[in-house]
A and B are shown apart, each in its own frame.
Chain A
Amino acid sequence: EAQVTQNPRYLITVTGKKLTVTCSQNMNHEYMSWYRQDPGLGLRQIYYSMNVEVTDKGDVPEGYKVSRKEKRNFPLILESPSPNQTSLYFCASSPRQGSSYNEQFFGPGTRLTVL
């Protein structure tokens, strides 16, 4: 089954404790992206990746890191989480960016709470 998977689905942590949220897709998509969803704000892009070893900042990158060492994986790293990073996070992927009308496929989401 074609899908985007994220782990963990739920995470409660404390301020300053490094964490990683994994994202994997099995559709051989070049493009991957992370979004955060907050009430009243919709979804906002954190980072994106056009392909392996190619990443760039989205609208709200502060406090986050990403890497793209393999095509299928795009982990989101919070080096020192803070309470304002409490949010619902979504990973998404889509085929080659040149086909600009392709829809993005979303993972199930990770609900993160930082105490």
Chain B
Amino acid sequence: AQSVAQPEDQVNVAEGNPLTVKCTYSVSGNPYLFWYVQYPNRGLQFLLKYITGDNLVKGSYGFEAEFNKSQTSFHLKKPSALVSDSALYFCAVRDGGATNKLIFGTGTLLAVQP
């Protein structure tokens, strides 16, 4: 069965420092991987996705993610964190087959301190 894991419940980083939010996956077949962000009292917003091609995927708000097939990881990164990046981040993998279901990780709360 497809699954994703986000090993960190919370990540703390100082403003201006680089940030990494970790995600590992387990899939059969080709992985379709996504990152979403949830700001307080808001819905999920799409950040970026990996389907095929370059292992470094660029997305919204200066975020990027690195796909590593050998380590089955899809870590979210940003070179310089902003306080406004503080939010809940979800990694997801599309389930194979007909359902188009997204299987989500448990989420990582990113806290950027001024």
Contact = CB atoms under 8 A, between A and B. Distances in A.
Interface of A: 4, 31, 33, 35, 40-45, 48, 50, 56, 58-59, 90, 92, 94, 97, 100-101, 103-109
SS of B interface (majority): loop
Interface residues of B, number: 22
7 contacts: A31-B100, A42-B107, A45-B99, A48-B99, A50-B98, A104-B102, A108-B42
Contact of B100 (A43, A48, A90): A48
Given A97-B98, A108-B42, 13 more contacts: A31-B100, A35-B104, A40-B106, A42-B106, A43-B104, A45-B99, A50-B98, A92-B44, A104-B46, A105-B46, A106-B43, A106-B44, A106-B45
B45 to A, nearest CB: 7
B42, B45, B100, B107 — most chain A CB neighbours (10 Å)? B100
SS of A interface (majority): strand
Interface in B66-112: 90, 94, 98-102, 104-107
Given A48-B100, A101-B32, A108 B51 contact: no
B90 A43 contact: yes
A48 B106 CA distance: 21
A107 B38 CA distance: 11
Given A33-B101, A42-B90, A101 B46 contact: no
